Amino acid sequence: MRNIASPLASRTSHDVEDFEQEIIDQEPLVRSWWLATTSGYIHVRDDHVEAAWTAANRRLESRFEEGG
């Protein structure tokens, strides 16, 4: 008895291979999009850290002045 793949099994196998290749081909595009998006979200203005530090110190000082 010969082992013959049905047309459906053959088509499905090729579809999976095509899909895998499509994912591999798109990976560099997705990676560059992800980096661009992530960089946009995590970008901090130059003065933000300094301003946040100053504001936190003011809040802390006001708590000590109030006796809290």
What is the C-alpha end-to-end distance of the chain, expressed in Å? 88
How confident is the model at residue 54, as a pLDDT? Answer: 94
How confident is the model at residue 2, as a pLDDT? Answer: 55
- pLDDT, one tens digit per residue, over 5-64 is 555 555 566 677 787 778 778 778 777 777 777 767 777 788 888 999 999 999 999 998
Structural domain containing residue 47:
34-68
> Residue 21 domain-assigned?
no
How confident is the model at residue 24, as a pLDDT? Answer: 78
> Residue 22 domain-assigned?
no
> Residue 24 domain-assigned?
no
Number of domains in the chain: 1
Give the torsion sign (CA, 18, 19, 23, 24).
negative
Indicate whether this model's pTM tops 0.85.
no
How confident is the model at residue 3, as a pLDDT? Answer: 57
